[in-house]
Structure 1
Amino acid sequence: MTAGGPTDPDGAVRGGVRGALGGLTTRGRSFLAAGVAAAGCAYVLGQADLLRVGLLLAALPLVCVAVLYRTRYRVTGSRGLSPRRVPAGAEARVLLRMENVSRLPTGLLMLQDHVPYVLGPRPRFVLDRVEPGGRREVSYRVRSDLRGRYPLGPLQLRLSDPFGMCELTRSFSAYDTLTVIPRTEPLPPVRLAGEAPGYGDGRQRSLAQAGEDDVIPRGYQYGDDLRRVHWRSTARYGELMVRREEQPQRARCTVLLDTREDGFDGGGPDSAFEWAVSGAASVVTHMLERGYAVRLLTDTGYTLPGDGAGPHEGFVATGHDAADGAGLMLDALAVVENSGERDLSRAQGVLAAGGEGLLIAFFGDLDEEQATSAARMRRRTGAAVAFVVGGVPASSGAGGVSRTQDETVRRLQEAGWTALAVPPGASLGDLWRRAARTGIEPGAPAGSTTGFSGGWS
């Protein structure tokens, strides 16, 4: 929630009396001009009655300006945004609350909130008289089909006199930010081809060294098996110690998103690049739900949530950090744009420093040199699955898959990847099931999924 008041420095009327005179409405300017013209004619014609009418017409808007400018009631405003993070195409609700904290009732108020045009029309509300201590609440909804981060605000309050002669605008200084994340698609809980045993549970276990001198004891915790008590360490430390015979290692997954501008054709919400971004968001969410430690990597070498400097760093695991880590990666995907990178060398370097585990990549069009870099990525991973999204639609073959996609899939399969070409309008869930089939082996023909229609735009 954000709050402020028009009597604060950020909400004060700027320009003093000149600013107040600038708030005259068309009606007020017309009355003032008519009064001045009538007074001038009365002076020329010597008509005293006409002079009185002219002075009355000219004085009315000036009196309204003076009264409105010297108004001392205070109004506070706040904005509530729920939720602050929404998928593309979903709605968020914005609640505006105005409260009169002065001892005088207000006149006619008009609220206006500034929103980007992609979220919809600018909302305006008219509030009638607000009693002292009174509160008014209004709400509106915003929606965007384009992912991104959008500012909401500032909230403007327009004051008007009862005759409509003058309007003064006062602004609050606070902003809110709405984050529109990519659409995510629920994926089936299948085991991918080449996935090591135990990954579906999200954990691997490695036995500690069997030698007595290699035992690493820890303090006894309620529920530990008494058969694991290590008596020598218990005698040494003076408290009950148990053997740490199993050291859990969480299965890791790296989601690689190719953002090279040369790898994708076209733009817009239905483009191949947007499909890849949405696919990466879906996989990140799905793998975290399955218990994996996940990180997001782009072709620029940028990793989230960590820097990935060590073999086990840069991953977010389940538990308390999972929600924050997932939100961090989805926020990054909300604003990711095409990069100017020419190859995948930076991403390859990050994976070479610590790329063990499952690798799931969303590639654009890859030439021979870039496919060689992708082959080197495969060497350090337990399993590698690639979805090839890029390609030139004009050269589409059977099933809407371009020839460049077929060629990229063939190169990746020869390097040991489980690679699939993504036709226009394809469902990631269907491709996910297809990647799990054991019949997809390295060296197999680069089959193109059929049954889809449409085209990237």
Structure 2
Amino acid sequence: MTTATAPDDQRGADEGRGGVRAALGGLTTRGRSFLAAGVAAAVCAYVLGQADLLRVGLLLASLPLICVLVLHRTRYQVAASRRLTPQRVEAGAEARVQLRVENVSKLPTGLLMLQDHVPYMLGPRPRFVLDRVEAGGKREVSYRVRSDLRGRFPLGPLQLRLSDPFGMCELTRSFSAYDTLTVVPRTEALPPVKLFGEASGYGDGQQRSLALAGDDDVIPRTYRHGDDLRRVHWRSTARYGELMVRREEFPQRARCTVLLDTRRIGFEGAGPDSAFEWAVSGAASVLLHMLERGFAVRLLTDTGSAVPGEGSDGFAGSVQDSADTAGLIMDTLAVVEHSEGAGLSRASDALRGGADELLVAFLGDLDEEQTALAARMRGRAGAAVAFVLDSGTWLTAGSVTGSVDERVRDLREAGWTALAVPPGARLTDLWQQAAGLRPGSVAAETHGGRS
């Protein structure tokens, strides 16, 4: 969990702009009334020749002006910071925002009003009133935000309204710092089932050796921090003049590609309960699940783009990078939107599978051409599972139509473990069902339960 904080010595973006003229614009109704009364008394004193009335007029006019000057001078000596915990949450979960105001001047402040800019999707705009902050004093307030929609939402900038003790003048100061809340898709914890043809993840896959039996045939590499010193190859170290270690036998990491169909024509409707959001949430759940099982994973969309895009063919590089890979994938899924593409051809071209690769696809509405294209993808993976959504039934909360069952049947005949997804289905149930469904089977299935 990371925390972002605005610098305590940050000054308002409007510092030095407008000067006293801007400060005079902050006069309240009371301040303007005192100023008008003072000017009127001074004019009357001049016309009538009354010196005492002139003194009263000067007193009335000077009071709001003095308040403006004092407030204008001290308004830049208030520091503020914001802490967002956590910065990445699932849709529907809450995050806590803590605001801290510090009076770094030698004079106490008057009435302060804090207002943080928050997108309407996260709730109402928070406002707080602080009565008085003594010199060197600090105040902390907090509020919570939540969103049922995925996305990246800016929090800030923070606005601070200052007021003098007499209520003559109010000035607004805006800080330039802001934080970003990332709302990722909801995920489900999937059971560790065994899919037909699936490799066993990290450590149980095929073994690959780069070190041969003869000592002279060893392929060395440069020493890296953390390498076992017992693997130092002294002959190569003497030859190259730097510390070299032997490359030893290591297990080949099984791979999993999750294909997410984002075509706009493939999904109807919008909102947290739409078919597209279910597909995004399902892709996130499968990716996290396979990472936990030790697979090298990648997210592939119909546009042909792959995430994380590192290592061979866009897969994650190592087990140590799993946390970073999960964060990158979830950040990508937080902002994924519909594509304008009409087919899956780019995704098909990006597939470079093998016998040790698992392909899990979340597909929207398919016509005959796209069904045939998806069927041909089956030959590029050791195991393939497809979840086919009929977005029309999700809009009406009806039963799966015959056309979807036909597409599922075609995919099964091509070797896919394919299932139709009814509205409100739980991925956990479908995942277990996929484990018990033999590839190529065209037998009738029982759809997953509703949440």
TM-score by structure 2 length?
0.85
2:288–2:326 Cα contact (<8 Å) kept:
yes
CA distance in structure 2 between the aligned counterparts of 1:404 and 1:52, rounded to whole angstroms: 91
| Aligned residue number for residue 276 of structure 1 | 279
| Aligned residue number for residue 434 of structure 1 | 433
2:151–2:184 Cα contact (<8 Å) kept:
yes
1:396–1:403 Cα contact (<8 Å) kept:
no
Bigger shift: residues 367-376 or 333-342: 367-376
CA distance in structure 2 between the aligned counterparts of 1:100 and 1:355, rounded to whole angstroms: 65
Q: 1:143 to 1:61 in 2, by over 3 A?
A: same
| Aligned 1:30-429 pairs, distance under 5 A | 30-33=33-36, 56-71=59-74, 74-196=77-199, 198-199=200-201, 203-206=205-208, 216=218, 221=228, 244=248, 246-306=249-309, 312-317=312-317, 319-352=319-352, 357-393=357-393, 400-429=399-428
1:261–1:338 Cα contact (<8 Å) kept:
yes
Q: 1:251 to 1:214 in 2, by over 3 A?
A: farther
Post-superposition offset of 1:129: 2.8
Consecutive unaligned residues in structure 2, runs of 5 or more: 222-226
What amino acid maps onto 2:68 in structure 1? V
CA distance in structure 1 between the aligned counterparts of 2:67 and 2:396, rounded to whole angstroms: 70
What amino acid maps onto 1:361 in structure 2? A
Post-superposition offset of 1:446: 5.5
CA distance in structure 2 between the aligned counterparts of 1:261 and 1:73, rounded to whole angstroms: 50
Structure 2 SS opposite 1:65? helix
CA distance in structure 1 between the aligned counterparts of 2:449 and 2:247, rounded to whole angstroms: 57
Structure 1 SS opposite 2:206? strand
1:193–1:435 Cα contact (<8 Å) kept:
no
CA distance in structure 2 between the aligned counterparts of 1:107 and 1:55, rounded to whole angstroms: 24
Structure 1 SS opposite 2:7? strand
What amino acid maps onto 1:404 in structure 2? S
Q: 1:401 to 1:35 in 2, by over 3 A?
A: farther
Consecutive unaligned residues in structure 1, runs of 5 or more: none
1:323-359 CA-partner distances (Å, limit 9, x unpaired): 1111000000000000001000111011047796000
Q: 1:215 to 1:407 in 2, by over 3 A?
A: farther
CA distance in structure 2 between the aligned counterparts of 1:136 and 1:392, rounded to whole angstroms: 53
Q: 1:243 to 1:50 in 2, by over 3 A?
A: closer
What amino acid maps onto 1:204 in structure 2? Q
CA distance in structure 2 between the aligned counterparts of 1:318 and 1:22, rounded to whole angstroms: 60
What amino acid maps onto 1:375 in structure 2? A
1:5–1:172 Cα contact (<8 Å) kept:
no
Give aligned-pair identity as a percent: 67
Q: 1:51 to 1:411 in 2, by over 3 A?
A: farther
2:24 aligns with one of 9, 21, 41: 21
Aligned residues: CA RMSD: 3.8
Post-superposition offset of 1:389: 1.8
Structure 2 SS opposite 1:250? coil
Structure 1 SS opposite 2:314? coil
| Aligned 1:436-451 pairs, distance under 5 A | 436-437=435-436, 439-445=437-443, 447=445, 449=447, 451=449
What amino acid maps onto 1:385 in structure 2? V
Q: 1:401 to 1:265 in 2, by over 3 A?
A: same
1:167-205 CA-partner distances (Å, limit 9, x unpaired): 111121111111110011100111113324x34866432
Q: 1:206 to 1:329 in 2, by over 3 A?
A: same
Q: 1:306 to 1:56 in 2, by over 3 A?
A: same
Post-superposition offset of 1:366: 0.9
Post-superposition offset of 1:43: 8.1
Structure 1 SS opposite 2:287? helix
Q: 1:440 to 1:26 in 2, by over 3 A?
A: farther
What amino acid maps onto 2:140 in structure 1? E
CA distance in structure 2 between the aligned counterparts of 1:365 and 1:214, rounded to whole angstroms: 58
Post-superposition offset of 1:4: 4.6
Q: 1:258 to 1:339 in 2, by over 3 A?
A: same
CA distance in structure 1 between the aligned counterparts of 2:279 and 2:439, rounded to whole angstroms: 23
Structure 2 SS opposite 1:149? strand
Post-superposition offset of 1:233: 10
TM-score by structure 1 length?
0.84
Q: 1:243 to 1:58 in 2, by over 3 A?
A: closer
What amino acid maps onto 2:91 in structure 1? A
Bigger shift: residues 11-20 or 407-416: 11-20
CA distance in structure 1 between the aligned counterparts of 2:127 and 2:383, rounded to whole angstroms: 54
1:3 aligns with 2:7: yes
1:3-26 CA-partner distances (Å, limit 9, x unpaired): 1546x3625163112211111223
Q: 1:72 to 1:372 in 2, by over 3 A?
A: closer
CA distance in structure 1 between the aligned counterparts of 2:208 and 2:38, rounded to whole angstroms: 93
Post-superposition offset of 1:82: 1.1
CA distance in structure 1 between the aligned counterparts of 2:216 and 2:402, rounded to whole angstroms: 57
2:83–2:98 Cα contact (<8 Å) kept:
yes
Q: 1:114 to 1:13 in 2, by over 3 A?
A: farther
| Aligned residue number for residue 224 of structure 2 | none
